[in-house]
Structure 1
């Protein structure tokens, strides 16, 4: 009997060892974001056994199993495991399942129901609502965001009114491509030259994000590129044409091999433009990949290169805007002004799991930009490069008997801008010659750096209530080197801003499943950009200070009726002091001064309704509303008192509504209604732009033919041919007896169509 028991035990041991040896570890990820999903039920139908994925999304499998992957807020996946199974599983999340939507912009990767801040997430279907060439119609579907759109490359993004006083380009918000800053050392951001079809997600945080990123009074925009799929390899190609010489070709590939995936994209966009001197030619290449290096380590690599030349028609006076909006501004047309640059972004991120309670995330990144820009008043030749590192530890533990999640880290960023200006001699040559470079006017080098040290935490008071606390310590430094001494004056100098501590306190309360209330108080600041730091003689201005403000906000987000109705609403109030004002010194030049205080009071909301959610047909209605009451509180500029007036450059209200349907037979379409209220153009509120309404249409047809997929699409923008200003210039001055040039004309009715083909390996 003893011998039998020994043999039985030996056989059982061998079977257990064999079974354990045959089992392998796999991982479950969210499709698109690539995050590991914890708590997924993994049901082995053959053994009637259920296990759950751990914090890394890990589970065990062996060939021959049939596994069912289930989790609330995700679509169920059933897999039969064979020899070709890689061990990697992707689940699709519902955007209305708040507890499953993880916001990657936060330091702790918090779920949407725990965010004490207004956040909007845009998925690929929402990113591609228009002609996939212009990011403005996409961002303008976000409540509280308004993107002025003068041309494909002349834009200004405002979030809750912040950034409206920047005359050219986007400032006072932070922008990221994955973990790479798209915001340079002086606070200017450029996102409009990125290829939209390379993006898998956008996250827009509204209100100060200084407790996360240092500067960022208005908020932040994070663009997350596609990184391929573990499920398949696929090659896609598309070509589109449209009005005003628009052409766009794209080739894209998803590559998967073992525990690595990548998406590579190349596109070329060309357009003659609606106006004179409005041609654009852009080449863009991007790469994004992820690499699983065992159970505890993962790498992400992203890179983007852009080669662009875009002519600049500039703004028009009211008379020209109404009578002949196709023309370029006279001096810009005569000089044939343009910008031509090559720009690259590269970043590597590493994540390591020490234990279930401690992880590390580290990113290193670099960027460069070489720009040549002839303007009527001079020619700018600049070269910019930068690098940085951001690292954080995240963990969880128990504080006073309650669970707390925390993140502690730091960031260092440095960039250098070498720039010279030259005389533009176009007036000395026959018309049609365009810009001619003359003698050097200045030769400057600016070095800009900052560091952030941050702490972010979420403390669960109970099952329904969480307290959020964030702190960020920032210091910014500028150094200017004058390499061309004119008239014996050396404009070299150095300026270091005082340390700025930006706290944030917030709370979330789960009213019921999938319905959350939140409130927050947050400090924010934005440093002056390059132009605002310089005096007319080229010296650094030691008196210029960052804008600073406190944001007070309450809001709600939720989803009911099985997610068919979802919403987000927020009321905020933010007083800002040391308002940065652009004071013009000539027709196209200005300096920055601190001139007063401004109060930002607003209401914003989004409502999404799935009217029909059938197996074969879906009808969804998305709406976004922002009502703005932004006023100068104490604002005296150059002896003029504008206190009590409306803030310039921001519409009083905006409304965006999209009705979209999708039929399983392959047909899809959307109708987009846009309303933009009137905009004050002068600080004295004597001139306003008119409000306007637009209707845009898009429709298409997709057909799957085994491994092939074919798509035809087309659209009409500005259906009723509305005459409107798509971008305005505030406080435009009259020089040389000419009328002020406030207006960038929007495109009249225009059309586009395209064909896409994909092959799945």
Structure 2
């Protein structure tokens, strides 16, 4: 079956390539991984400036970080190397992402974060981002804007993700096949074909992965087809396309109590006197996701340009759970338009950015009883619509004395509509129960000031605001009902930062200190069955320090020898938080480690040998609002070594990787505020994998 899929895909790629007409000049490729701090250009806040000159905290992951440093093809390990970012995988395929502590909103999935592929929105109108529908083998870079960025990207107090595809080689066509295998039944393969001839940059990838999982009932199977294309249709016009189809099926073993976790970390959630276990109910996620987007960039001249993007998406999801079986179908449409006006002449050169974004979703959900993994009697039949509108404007001015001033403002509107249809006849009949919730328009300003000191150092200060309304999975939680009384979060962040390099650019540093004050913070609760619901927790104070330091050793025999270390220090606490009769004010916010330290070493020799070593430490942190349960410290050692050589048109890459080399028992994702203290989801013990990539260009 796998051979058939690969053969059919190869034939399709060959036909597609033969039908493409090409002319004009090749498109520029993405940045090379070896660029240094004073050369790297980032897209955050539409600046397209060097990272050194960007007045915000931006983390950058290159292709090396995403596809070479760690052997396992998921983005989790790479994201965790960035200070202020925490990615979890409670079981294979079940991702959760926190930027500056936003995990208190994310019992699963990615919420309170906006995501884009170039200018195409990936986050839907309901605030959910399908991170597990992307395969890291199709990504060339990820930018992470940390903290509220509502002045340009709309709702969200956590941050913003900006994805970029693989670099397309100019002037030729390449093909690469890959395969990997490892512990716990891990197996994967992939095929990528790219062409960068004439006016076309085109990349088509198919990637497959399966695993039996470390824990009982934690198997995974995933197929991802990804298409990206960029076409210079004229000297001043570029059309880009993005297509994603993902078919993922993974089992969810469920959380364990501490006693169960200590006794057998590989176990799935067992049955109780009143509820069956995860394996008995075949708990899991079966999801098909499709996305098609197109963007058009038009450049009138070197001062005026516009990019307009439109997309459509669809999701079909089946979720057997302990107590019910959900079938959900979602359709999303939307678009974003951005116009830039550059007035470079005059005493204050200024760039203006104007635009708007419209997102809309329709979700039809039906819940049934769960009879050992099969839907039983229907329990609820609901329909949810979401519409989100954002309008924004930003100005960047170059001031005297090497100062740069940025001011931005956006207005955000969100509306939900909810209908609960009757599912059974009763005397007198039942009628549908339409409900709606509109949060009035919110203005979100941002102000930033930066000064550069020579060519290799800069300092910035910023004040930014965020507005984060409840996501669709929070207003209609798995516990049932429509929670229209849940209030949005509002936040203001104050931040200062210093970044630069020294010693001929061998020593690089980036330090930021911030204070984020949130009002009406949204936190998770769960009922006796483990189904979730959400409440507002008053105010929170989120203060932190993030630092990056790296040093390059220059030797004749190596292309790269780098030692680096990242640190995150946090003091996140509740303010004015009353839970019933208990005052939880000044308690630590659960799920956020006070100290996170990450260190590593990277080596790439001129003969083709490469190696990466990464160590992570997280000190204990609370697992519930009452701070009565605490996580174990995390000590994680990972290593990858390989050999890559190009001979003529052919390139071969052989590698081996080890994860959790210290063989620690730890959880790569806790269930925060879990009822019955079922916090624990054990990560794999010491494990290994190996892989090969074979490429050819012509």
* Fold in common (TM above 0.5): yes
Checking the alignment, whether the CA contact within 8 Å between 1:132 and 1:196 is kept in structure 2 is no
Taking a change above 3 Å as real, the CA distance of residues 256 and 88 of structure 1, as seen in their structure-2 partners, is closer
Taking the TM superposition and a 5 Å limit, the aligned residue runs for 1:505-516 are: 505-516=447-458
1:745 equivalent in structure 2: 682
Q: 1:106 aligns with which of 41, 45, 58?
A: 45
Checking the alignment, whether the CA contact within 8 Å between 1:208 and 1:523 is kept in structure 2 is yes
CA–CA distance in structure 1, aligned partners of residues 309 and 38 of structure 2: 27
Taking the TM superposition and a 5 Å limit, the aligned residue runs for 1:546-561 are: 546-561=488-503
Taking a change above 3 Å as real, the CA distance of residues 587 and 90 of structure 1, as seen in their structure-2 partners, is closer
Taking the TM superposition and a 5 Å limit, the aligned residue runs for 1:462-473 are: 462=400, 464-473=402-411
Taking a change above 3 Å as real, the CA distance of residues 520 and 483 of structure 1, as seen in their structure-2 partners, is same
> SS state of the match for residue 513, structure 1?
coil
CA displacement at 1:95 relative to structure 2: 6.2
CA–CA distance in structure 2, aligned partners of residues 656 and 623 of structure 1: 6
Task: Tell which deviates more after alignment, 597-606 or 535-544.
Answer: 535-544
1:582 equivalent in structure 2: 524
> SS state of the match for residue 679, structure 1?
coil
1:16 equivalent in structure 2: none
2:605 equivalent in structure 1: 663
Deviations 1:625-664 (A, max 9, x none): 1001101111112332100111111111111112010111
Taking the TM superposition and a 5 Å limit, the aligned residue runs for 1:490-501 are: 490-501=432-443
Taking the TM superposition and a 5 Å limit, the aligned residue runs for 1:160-559 are: 160-226=100-166, 228-330=168-270, 331-397=277-343, 401-426=347-372, 435-462=373-400, 464-484=402-422, 488=430, 490-534=432-476, 538-559=480-501
CA–CA distance in structure 1, aligned partners of residues 346 and 445 of structure 2: 22
Checking the alignment, whether the CA contact within 8 Å between 2:124 and 2:359 is kept in structure 1 is no
> TM-score if structure 2 supplies the norm length?
0.92
Taking a change above 3 Å as real, the CA distance of residues 638 and 231 of structure 1, as seen in their structure-2 partners, is farther
Checking the alignment, whether the CA contact within 8 Å between 2:308 and 2:336 is kept in structure 1 is yes
2:92 equivalent in structure 1: 152
Taking a change above 3 Å as real, the CA distance of residues 112 and 353 of structure 1, as seen in their structure-2 partners, is same
> SS state of the match for residue 340, structure 1?
strand
> SS state of the match for residue 303, structure 1?
strand
CA–CA distance in structure 2, aligned partners of residues 586 and 528 of structure 1: 23
What residue ranges of structure 2 are gaps of 5+ in the alignment? 1-22, 271-276
Structure 1 segments, 4+ long, off by >6 Å, are none
CA displacement at 1:553 relative to structure 2: 0.1
- Say if 2:643 is the partner of 1:701: yes
Checking the alignment, whether the CA contact within 8 Å between 1:93 and 1:100 is kept in structure 2 is no
CA–CA distance in structure 2, aligned partners of residues 394 and 270 of structure 1: 44
> SS state of the match for residue 133, structure 2?
coil
Q: 2:626 aligns with which of 672, 680, 684?
A: 684
Q: How many residues matched? A: 665
CA displacement at 1:94 relative to structure 2: 7.2
- Say if 2:561 is the partner of 1:624: no
Checking the alignment, whether the CA contact within 8 Å between 2:558 and 2:603 is kept in structure 1 is no
Task: Tell which deviates more after alignment, 535-544 or 190-199.
Answer: 535-544
Taking a change above 3 Å as real, the CA distance of residues 617 and 373 of structure 1, as seen in their structure-2 partners, is same
Checking the alignment, whether the CA contact within 8 Å between 1:93 and 1:101 is kept in structure 2 is no
What residue ranges of structure 1 are gaps of 5+ in the alignment? 1-83, 427-434, 735-739
Taking a change above 3 Å as real, the CA distance of residues 459 and 615 of structure 1, as seen in their structure-2 partners, is farther
CA displacement at 1:113 relative to structure 2: 2.8
CA–CA distance in structure 2, aligned partners of residues 653 and 198 of structure 1: 32
> SS state of the match for residue 171, structure 1?
coil
CA displacement at 1:528 relative to structure 2: 0.8
CA–CA distance in structure 2, aligned partners of residues 257 and 168 of structure 1: 42
CA displacement at 1:105 relative to structure 2: 3.4
CA–CA distance in structure 1, aligned partners of residues 560 and 35 of structure 2: 15
Checking the alignment, whether the CA contact within 8 Å between 1:531 and 1:592 is kept in structure 2 is no
Whose RCO is larger (CA < 8 A, sep 6+)? 2
Deviations 1:501-522 (A, max 9, x none): 0000001100221211000000
Deviations 1:220-264 (A, max 9, x none): 112111252223211101100000000010111111331101111
Aligned Cα root-mean-square deviation (Å)? 2.0
Checking the alignment, whether the CA contact within 8 Å between 2:324 and 2:369 is kept in structure 1 is yes
> TM-score if structure 1 supplies the norm length?
0.84
CA displacement at 1:307 relative to structure 2: 0.7
CA–CA distance in structure 2, aligned partners of residues 361 and 536 of structure 1: 38
CA displacement at 1:203 relative to structure 2: 0.3
